[in-house]
Amino acid sequence: MQIVSKDLVYTYSEKAKALAFRALDGVTLTIPEGEFFGIIGQTGSGKSTFVQHLNGLIPTKEGNGQLLVGEFDLTDKNTNLKELRKKVGMVFQYPEYQLFAETVFEDVAFGLKNFYPDLPQVDVEDRVKQAITTVGLDYDKIKEKSPFELSGGQKRRVAIAGVIVSRPEVLVLDEPVAGLDPVGKREFARLLKTLHATFVKTVVIVSHDMDFVAEYCSSVAVFSKGKVVKVGTPKQVFEDRVGMREMGLDIPVTEYLKDALKEKGVILDCDLSVESFTKAVAEKFAKNKGETDL
């Protein structure tokens, strides 16, 4: 499903004039199917507001621009939101706060049963088991436990299992790695890549972690004051050092190192990933060593 947004506008508290705030001020953005799409931007730039439009959690009104998600026209009042939400899954920041059921199994099955009320029990069990295993938990050990007796990390995994269990084509995540330790972040990235390689066709992820974005995203959009000010590959986006600084955004650590080396007269030609960076350094090193040996 391709996502096309054109001049999308959204105002919070529109009726209360004094409190009204235009969070989206004409967002034009196309997210092709198959992307691992990053959204970055300063706090308050409208990222969360935008992604909540993608499955109709924030309704689009007529006259406020266009938004097409696959075959769903979000400006149309009669759009079947349930069908849309079946296909566009959404993981919020701190998803563990949405847990409610008595057992992990029931909580994970909640979305599945809402979307597919006629699914036979065996299939439900099958799917739940698969979802729980995918997020790296032991199904048999955990399924009968109360979600509230799990650790924070486990809770978050259960919550994510509860979203992917209905196998959405598009997975939208709003700062999912906030509060995770570095190892947790890496594991989470691996999980997303696995999902992206299976039934999830498109990933849209809002993140403040530039290293994460540089390493995993195929494209990035930069939000600023309710508008998209830049779209491109992470390399293209982060290249514009001045622009990034002006928008109050950080750059990935590999870019910092590249700049520092450049100041010392060492120019590297590499991508943003740590792997590509280390490879370039190693090559340079080997070459220089050869030269001094001469």
Partner 1 sequence: MKDVTFGQYYPANSIVHSMNPAVKILLTIAYIVAVFMVKQFYFLGFAACLLAVILITILAKIPFLKVLKSVKAVIFFVLLSAILQLLFNKNGTPLWKGGFITDVGLLTAGFITARIVLMVLGATLLTLTTSPVDLADGIETLLFPLKLIKFPVHEFALIMSIALRFIPTLIDETDRIIKAQKARGADFDSGNIFKRAKALIPVLIPLLISSFRRADELADAMDARCYAGSKKRTKYKKTPFTVSDFFGLVFMAGLIVGVVFLNGFII
Q: Using CB under 5 A as the criterion, which residues of the chain lie in contact with Mg ion when the complex forms?
A: 48
Distance CA 170, CA 69 (A): 9
Tell me how far CA of residue 183 lies from CA of 38, 153, 188, in angstroms: 20, 11, 8
Distance CA 155, CA 98 (A): 10
- Least CB distance to ligand ATP at residue 140 (A): 37
Give the one entry of ligand ATP, Mg ion, partner 1, none that residue 85 binds, where binding means its C-beta sits below a cut-off of 5 to 8 angstroms depending on kind. partner 1
> Does residue 289 bind partner 1 (CB under 8 A)?
no
| Residues 149, 154, 156, 159, Cα dihedral to 10° | -70
Distance CA 131, CA 121 (A): 15
Distance CA 172, CA 55 (A): 9
Of positions 46, 89, 153, 176, contacts partner 1 by CB under 8 A? 89
- Sketch the per residue contact string, 162 through 181, with partner 1: x for CB under 8 A, - otherwise: xx--x---------------
Stretch of 81-89, 149-157, 242-250, 256-264 lying at the interface with partner 1 (CB under 8 A): 81-89
Task: State the burial class of residue 94 (Cβ atoms within 10 Å of its Cβ: 0-12, 13-18, 19+).
Answer: middle
Q: Rank residues 124 and 253 by Cβ distance to partner 1 and give the closer one.
A: 124
Q: Rank residues 48 and 64 by Cβ distance to Mg ion and give the closer one.
A: 48
Give the one entry of Mg ion, ligand ATP, partner 1, none that residue 105 binds, where binding means its C-beta sits below a cut-off of 5 to 8 angstroms depending on kind. none
> Does residue 90 bind partner 1 (CB under 8 A)?
yes
Mapping DSSP to helix (H, G, I), strand (E, B) and coil, where does residue 204 land?
strand
- Which among 187, 195, 194, 191 has a CA at the least distance from the CA of 170? 195
- Least CB distance to ligand ATP at residue 5 (A): 14
- Least CB distance to ligand ATP at residue 110 (A): 25
Give the one entry of ligand ATP, Mg ion, partner 1, none that residue 23 binds, where binding means its C-beta sits below a cut-off of 5 to 8 angstroms depending on kind. ligand ATP
- Give the angle 98-103-107 at the CA atoms, nearest 5°: 40
Decide the pairing of beta strands 36-41 and 88-91. Answer: unpaired
- Least CB distance to ligand ATP at residue 75 (A): 19
Tell me how far CA of residue 254 lies from CA of 49, 55, 251, 281, in angstroms: 30, 35, 8, 11
Tell me how far CA of residue 226 lies from CA of 19, 55, 109, 290, in angstroms: 17, 19, 36, 52
Distance CA 166, CA 75 (A): 25
What is the total count of residues that contact partner 1 (CB under 8 A)? 28
Site for ligand ATP, residues 6 to 65, rule: CB under 6 A:
12-13, 21, 23, 41, 43-49
Give the one entry of ligand ATP, partner 1, Mg ion, none that residue 163 binds, where binding means its C-beta sits below a cut-off of 5 to 8 angstroms depending on kind. partner 1
> Does residue 13 bind partner 1 (CB under 8 A)?
yes
Distance CA 204, CA 174 (A): 8
Give the one entry of Mg ion, partner 1, ligand ATP, none that residue 236 binds, where binding means its C-beta sits below a cut-off of 5 to 8 angstroms depending on kind. none
Residues that bind ligand ATP (CB under 6 A): 12-13, 21, 23, 41, 43-49
Under the rule (CB under 8 A), what is the footprint of partner 1?
A: 12-13, 15-16, 19, 52, 55, 57, 82, 85-86, 89-90, 92, 95, 97-101, 110-111, 114-115, 148, 162-163, 166
